[in-house]
Amino acid sequence: MLGVTDDDVAWADDGTLGEVFCLTFVRGLDETEALSRLGALPDELRPRTLDEATEASGSFAAGYPDFAFALDLGEWMVLIEPDGFQGSLTGPLTALSRGTEAVSVQRHDYADHGFSYAVDGTLVTGFEPTWPDQRWGSEPDRLLGRMRAVGLDLDAEDDDDHVPGAYVPALLLAGLITGAVPHADALAGELPSAPVEPWFGPAPASPSHGPSDPAMVAALDAAPPQLLRAVAARETMRLASVLDLDGTPGLADAVAAAERGEPVTVAPGSDLGMHVRSWLTRSRQAGRSLNDPSARSKMSDDERTAAHMLGWFAQALKAALSPDPHAAARAALRPLTQGPPLLRDPAEEAAILQTLRGTAT
């Protein structure tokens, strides 16, 4: 059992981190590298308390940032996301695990809990701890012995056989893999932390976010990589023009480099990176202020709409800069095919479909 006991993880159920949190363990990385792989902003890395982060996360003026904390456990580093979930997503988790291994435990009392184990960029085992009989990954049964050891019921036959509070044994399972878990007293003081902007992390844009029209999907599937990159670049710069962002420093050069198939990294502190950060912050303010009675009136309807458009554009740009041309084209075309009316253009959609069909081989 490697010395990790039920008592070591009991705090996960006592409200120390609330009803929503994510703990992601990664082996052999220092705090800066681990946080960076999650998309943390390096220029804002400093010690904070959980209470300080909670206060900022609920602030319109601060931009409602999401934070990750790093706690050194020896061989392993654990990233703590209060009210967060990035480490539970397959893209960020597999990016964290490249060249090493990573384990994620998610508590989310209003959605799904989660457990994931990844090795060198591949999800090995994933499951929702409440229903541990349903698993996925390259080796979904790899952890069966340890799962049974922590009390996860692998013989559940229906939804009535769910495991209540299953994030606690899931955290114990993580401890059996890593040999260590955080203790509540370690969370009481300051820890290295930074706001997390997944846009700057190495996780790629999701290929599932894209056109749903069967004709467009088929054309994208058949198109060669260079054409896909060209379509992603064309659509991104069209969106930039519609939103009057095409003069953003570094934007055209980054998109052109990606179209040529060159790797593109946008540093958070670069001119383009700072603009992206401002777009993401504004979009986040627009969305979260709707649930913040003290801030709902701080944006007019027009300002909120414009801010949402910035968020749509930022995600299209992230897609266009992806090294995977298929993912880049699909995600970059999402605003055109599924976005708000301002970003849609039926004539442009038809033209892109014709281009894909005419050149695809």
- Distance, CA of 204 to CA of 318 (rounded, Å): 8
Phi, psi for residue 270 in degrees, rounded to 5: -75, 170
- Cβ neighbours of residue 311 closer than 8 Å, sequence gap 6 or more: 279, 280, 282, 283, 284, 286, 287
Instruction: With H, G, I as helix, E, B as strand and everything else as coil, classify residue 128.
Output: coil
Q: Looking at 200, 222, 251, which one is the last position of a domain?
A: 200
Question: Are 21 and 92 members of one domain?
Answer: yes
Question: Are 180 and 243 members of one domain?
Answer: no
Residue 149 is assigned to a structural domain of this protein: yes
Q: Looking at 136, 170, 200, which one is the last position of a domain?
A: 200
- Specify the pLDDT at position 148: 93
Residue 206 is assigned to a structural domain of this protein: no
Question: Are 126 and 244 members of one domain?
Answer: no
Give 355: exposed, middle or buried? Use CB within 10 Å, 0-12, 13-18, 19+: middle
Question: Are 307 and 329 members of one domain?
Answer: yes
- Specify the pLDDT at position 217: 92
Residue 176 is assigned to a structural domain of this protein: yes
- Specify the pLDDT at position 1: 40
- Cβ neighbours of residue 272 closer than 8 Å, sequence gap 6 or more: 248, 249, 250, 251, 254, 266
Tokens representing 104?
């994620």
Question: Are 164 and 296 members of one domain?
Answer: no
Q: Looking at 200, 227, 252, which one is the last position of a domain?
A: 200
Q: Would the CA dihedral through 275, 278, 280, 282 be positive or negative?
A: negative
Residue 209 is assigned to a structural domain of this protein: no
Range of the domain at 181: 6-200
- 48, β-bridge pairs: 191
Residue with tokens 């480490």: 87
Structurally, the chain folds into a number of domains equal to 2
Question: Are 243 and 285 members of one domain?
Answer: yes
Question: Are 246 and 187 members of one domain?
Answer: no
Question: Are 135 and 229 members of one domain?
Answer: no
Residue 63 is assigned to a structural domain of this protein: yes
Residue 207 is assigned to a structural domain of this protein: no
- Specify the pLDDT at position 162: 61
Q: Tell me the residue ranges of DSSP E strands in the chain.
A: 20-27, 46-48, 67-72, 76-82, 101-108, 114-119, 122-127, 135-136, 191-195
Question: Are 251 and 186 members of one domain?
Answer: no
- Specify the pLDDT at position 361: 45
Question: Are 329 and 237 members of one domain?
Answer: yes
Question: Are 146 and 20 members of one domain?
Answer: yes
Tokens representing 215?
């004709």
Residue 205 is assigned to a structural domain of this protein: no
Phi, psi for residue 74 in degrees, rounded to 5: 105, -110
Q: Is residue 129 a contact partner of residue 13, using CB atoms and an 8 Å limit? A: no
Question: Are 218 and 192 members of one domain?
Answer: no
- Specify the pLDDT at position 161: 55
Q: Is residue 117 a contact partner of residue 125, using CB atoms and an 8 Å limit? A: yes
Tokens representing 316?
């299209």
Tens place of pLDDT per residue across the chain (361 aa) = 457 888 899 899 888 898 999 999 999 999 999 999 999 999 999 999 999 999 999 999 999 999 999 999 999 999 999 999 999 999 999 999 999 999 999 999 988 899 999 999 999 999 999 989 899 999 999 999 999 999 887 876 655 556 668 899 999 999 999 999 999 888 989 999 999 999 999 987 665 577 888 999 999 999 999 999 999 999 999 999 999 999 999 999 999 999 999 999 999 999 999 999 999 999 999 999 999 999 999 999 999 999 999 999 999 999 999 999 998 999 999 999 999 999 999 999 999 999 999 854 4
Question: What is the model's pTM?
Answer: 0.92
